[in-house]
Amino acid sequence: MLLFSMAGVMATLYVIDHIRRGSVAQEALYVRSSKTLRRLSLGYSGLLADIYWTRAVQYFGEQHHAGSSDFRLLAPLLEVTTELDPRLLPAYQFGANFLAPKPPGGAGLPGAALALMKYGIAHNPDQWRLYYNLGFLYYTELKDYAGAADAFAQGAKLPVTNPFMPILAARMAQHAGEFETARMLWFTTYQSTRDSTIQQNAVEHLLALQVDEDVTRLEQVVERYREQTGRLPTSMGDLELAGFIHGTPADPKGRPYKLMPDGRIEVQNPESIFFITKGLPPGAAPPQPPRKTQADSK
């Protein structure tokens, strides 16, 4: 009887959860005021911050998984978390990576991400990762190269810092070597975290950068071939015979690049490499990581 009722309770709750699916996410933030929460915590604000941090990660994961582009609670959840424990560094890193990018990759709130980073730096002025995250935001989302250079330069001055910081600061100041700079940024992001969501995001961006760089270089080669021969190459073999390339160039997934009749370079399967901006069929949008649709998750 005991086991039967226990199983019944769990089964019923499972059904209730499915009925209330939409409202559960909205209820993830019961109290928005960190001051009230701090008082309610009776001094145990550290544990409450950890709970809110877990809620923020779960909320983002659930919304992302369900194919939703609505991340309106991510910013307040991260704000409450960091106000309860201003030294919870992973929350700032998560914010830098997922608050600013446009949906569905993030919440599309670069202003909130910027405010979060500045709050983090004000409370943890000796943490190079926060200056890195701020510079990263300026560079990737706001295209503010002066702001990025300043953030990286400040982070580079700290007693404990990352060797890439002064290099990044110099590159931002020169605004040179776009691919190399972006690669350095995503590599540092990958290196500076153990969060698998952030690491996976960095790996996907690094692969996309490789494709963008390959396609740019190959299209320059095609252009040089055309200038030399007066016609477009018909295959990669033509470029190899002319000594412009060695072997058949392939994307990071190992699939050879396609040479199109108009001289453009395309990847064979655009859906397999996310975030690429080059090598796509004309008019195609950069592919995003696949997510379960609402229908799948039901």
The Cβ of residue 198 has, within 10 Å, a number of other Cβ atoms equal to: 19
Smaller CB separation from other proteins, 161 or 192? 192
Q: By CB under 8 A, tell whether 46 contacts other proteins.
A: yes
* Among 6, 9, 47, 176, interactor with other proteins by CB under 8 A: 47
With contacts defined by CB under 8 A, name the span among 44-52, 142-150, 171-179, 267-275 that binds other proteins: 44-52
Q: By CB under 8 A, tell whether 85 contacts other proteins.
A: yes
Q: Kindly state the smallest distance separating residue 242's Cβ from other proteins, in Å.
A: 50
49-78 positions binding other proteins, by CB under 8 A: 49-50, 53-54, 57-58
196-215 positions binding other proteins, by CB under 8 A: 196
Q: Kindly state the smallest distance separating residue 74's Cβ from other proteins, in Å.
A: 17
Q: By CB under 8 A, tell whether 194 contacts other proteins.
A: yes
With contacts defined by CB under 8 A, name the span among 18-26, 81-89, 101-109, 261-269 that binds other proteins: 81-89
Q: By CB under 8 A, tell whether 160 contacts other proteins.
A: no
Q: By CB under 8 A, tell whether 88 contacts other proteins.
A: yes
Q: Kindly state the smallest distance separating residue 164's Cβ from other proteins, in Å.
A: 20
Q: Kindly state the smallest distance separating residue 100's Cβ from other proteins, in Å.
A: 20
What does the binding site for other proteins look like in residue numbers (CB under 8 A)? Answer: 39, 42-47, 49-50, 53-54, 57-58, 85, 87-90, 193-196
